Amino acid sequence: MGFDISGSVKGQIALLFPGQGSQSVGMMDTFRALPIVSQAIEECSDALNENLFELIDNGPEASLNLTKNTQPIMLACSVAIWRLFSERCRDLKPSYFAGHSLGEYSALTAAKTFSLTEAAELVRYRAEVMQSITSPGDCGMVAVIGFGLEHIKKLCTSVNESLQSSTCRRGEKEYPQIVEVANINSEKQVVLSGSKLALELAVTEIKNVGTNTRIVELPVSAPFHSSILKPVEDLLSKKFESLLIKEPEIPTISNYHAEVYGSVEEIRKNTTETGIQYRSVEGFYRENDKFRCRSFYRMRSWKSLKWACSANG
């Protein structure tokens, strides 16, 4: 089911905001000249005192994929798409917002929990402290498609036991050689996160066992949703103490427990922890009898003026 940007959709729907890994150079080319889009990205640029359009339009890809750049850029583009969407489809009021990982911050911003400038500064800080734990190239994430979750969990345990308590050290940075289940995107797609060595061992084992399994390396520069980033929690908690946070104007689903946020204090607590612990909006899909959404639409159609997303797609 889809709809044209000038149209409308009836029934209870949810809008989903993308996380890191959805970015690409030139992804906003179609929308570049639209004032409502450029204004959102300029707001973020002004807040960070840099020209985000330069990276969005021209890259290079390696710079765009650095966490400290990707997070504010994905936020800016997602909110820009939401503003365009809401302007062109005035009769449509979503029943829920949700987001994959970083996309939760975009969802909360669209729901006016944060102002866009506050959110841009927040996700830049979040990205910088996450990247400070490891060095680019030392850790990563891979999507495993077509391999059972329980088998993956056992395999990760086996790899971690084989590495025992070994660590990766680069200068003053030191972190464990581990691989963990990071995201459960669906029953057939699980994302692993960890050090490069541990990921390589896990991928090798999966390929040896899984005959119809596909492995996709994600374009990220940190081991998101892994315990390697545990030190980030305290730093983010202190940052959140200084923020003016409002209750979402549109019910927003937490990545932490796949439930609607019930209070501002819950937002303060859970959004600082989802960088390390993550249930995923897969739980949102699976428990849709509770939310009763007719359709799910992603705010990620960078290169087309049509959203045509099927439910759960």
SS (H, E, C) 233-291: HHHHHHHHHCCCCCCCCCCEECCCCCCECCCHHHHHHHHHHCCCCCCCCHHHHHCHHHH
Which of 225, 226, 295, 301 is catalytic? The answer is 225
Numbers of helices and strands, H then E, in the chain: 12, 11
Q: Are 76 and 290 in contact (CB under 8 A)?
A: no
Given a contact cutoff of 8 angstroms between Cβ atoms, the answer to whether 222 and 67 are in contact is: yes
Cβ neighbourhood burial of 93 (10 Å; 0-12, 13-18, 19+): exposed
- Is 237 annotated as catalytic? no
CA atoms of 228 and 106, how far apart (whole Å): 24
CA 106/CA 95 separation, integer angstroms:
16
Q: What SS3 class is residue 285?
A: helix
151 is catalytic: no
Render 80-118 in DSSP notation, one character per residue. HHHHHHHHH-TT---SEEEESTTHHHHHHHHTTSS-HHH
Residue tagged active-site, from 22, 78, 101, 221: 101
Please give the Cα distance from 144 to 92 (Å, whole number). 35
Q: Give the position of tokens 């800016």.
A: 76
Tokens read off for 145: 């498609």
What is the Cα gyration radius of the chain?
Answer: 19
| Catalytic residue IDs | 101, 225
